[in-house]
Amino acid sequence: MKMLPGVGVFGTGSSARVLVPLLRAEGFTVEALWGKTEEEAKQLAEEMNVAFYTSRTDDVLLHQDVDLVCISIPPPLTRQISVKALGIGKNVVCEKAATSVDAFRMVTASRYYPQLMSLVGNVLRFLPAFVRMKQLISEHYVGAVMICDARIYSGSLLSPSYGWICDELMGGGGLHTMGTYIVDLLTHLTGRRAEKMLMGGGVCSTVTLNFNMPGAFVHEVMVVGSAGRLVARGADLYGQKNSAMQEELLLRDSLAVGTGLPEQGPQDVPLLYLKGMVYMVQALRQSFQGQSDRRTWDRAPVSMAASFEDGLYMQSVVDAIKRSSRSGEWEAVEVLTEEPDANQNLCEALQRNNL
């Protein structure tokens, strides 16, 4: 009998609380749960009815029934666990890394094991609105792409206690937390990469991130071309040709989420991202189902997913934005092709702290 791979989940935060029931709903078995402390792991394991829990990384990675690892933990730990998981022969779906150097090491590991799944979980790519938007752009609905505009308005990302999200060097801050995925999404949609704080081919992109806006979460992505425009408002897609008097609804996302999910998780994760997680897990199930071995997978159902190479690119763009902010000039996007000297990284980090 062909079975889906057993899953090891790293993390005890909101995303992990949502991910566990979503995986089970699609037929996956969550075999192991990791938390940074034994107490945190035990608490969530009992809440989610997961038999095996631990605070030791190797206990999950070496678990004989775990073939797929889902990593939803603070960025500083992502590289270490994902690289080790690939080395042991596990398929990996994880969040972004904390730095470009970490992202580069993840890319290097994924190149050593190309037969294994190594995906960055940008769930926006899986939303039907963006799948359809990408298709329409390739079919020249908007003509030649000229402008990309994204707006994300949200309440504060900070928690009452100090944590990694407060520290830039640990991958914190709104630009890294949500901005990286918007950068990745725009490149995915248009096929253009940022070069010198300007997308290739003369495409102008503007991204507004405001995390001081209490109230409803706002997420809007617009692509404007010579023949028309496409706008994704939340999970719905609208379009308007230049010759039309008004825009038309092209796709309404009617997916209902929340059933079977714990209360704490959905409250902390915007609905748009909840839907994206549902679609991502569905794609993972389609990728693994019907395979003769629990570690083999079909690339087609997850073809829209971000790779580790995409993760390195999005981190490189964010680094260029930060350099531009400090220098007051347009900085070029530099994607690492080899690992830099460790002493140089330390000096740069100390210099940033002093600034």
Instruction: Kindly list the averaged pLDDT for each block of 10 residues, start to end, along the chain of length 355.
Output: 87 94 96 96 96 97 97 95 98 95 97 97 98 98 97 85 77 88 97 80 89 92 98 98 96 83 68 96 96 92 98 96 90 91 60 56
pLDDT value at residue 167: 78
Tell me what pLDDT residue 2 has.
Answer: 60
DSSP string covering 133-147: HHHHHHTTSS-SEEE
| Cα-trace Rg, the chain | 20
In this prediction, residue 346 carries a pLDDT of 55
What's residue 198's pLDDT?
A: 65
Give ranges for CATH 3.40.50.720 in the chain: 6-123+262-311
CB neighbour list of residue 162: distance below 8 Å, 6 or more residues apart: none
Q: For residue 45, which phi and psi values (nearest 5 degrees)?
A: -60, -40
**What pLDDT is stored for residue 345 in this prediction?**
55
Sort residue 74 into left (φ over 0), alpha (ψ -120 to 50) or beta: beta
Beta bridge partners of 147: 204, 224
Domain 6-123+262-311 listed as CATH 3.40.50.9100: no
Q: Which CATH superfamily is domain 128-251 in?
A: Dihydrodipicolinate Reductase; domain 2 (3.30.360.10)
What local confidence, expressed as pLDDT, does residue 24 receive? 96
> Cβ distance 112 to 85 under 8 Å?
no
Which residue type, as a one-letter code, is found at position 303? S
- Mark residue 8 as left, alpha or beta (left: phi above 0; alpha: psi -120 to 50; beta: remaining): beta
Instruction: Give the C-alpha separation, 287 to 187, whole Å.
Output: 24
What pLDDT is attached to residue 165?
Answer: 75
Task: Read off the DSSP letter of residue 329.
Answer: S
pLDDT at position 266? 62
What is the model's pLDDT at position 320? 94
> CA–CA separation, 70 vs 58, rounded Å?
14
CA distance 49 to 213: 37
pLDDT score of 168: 78
Q: Where in the chain is the domain with CATH 3.30.360.10?
A: 128-251
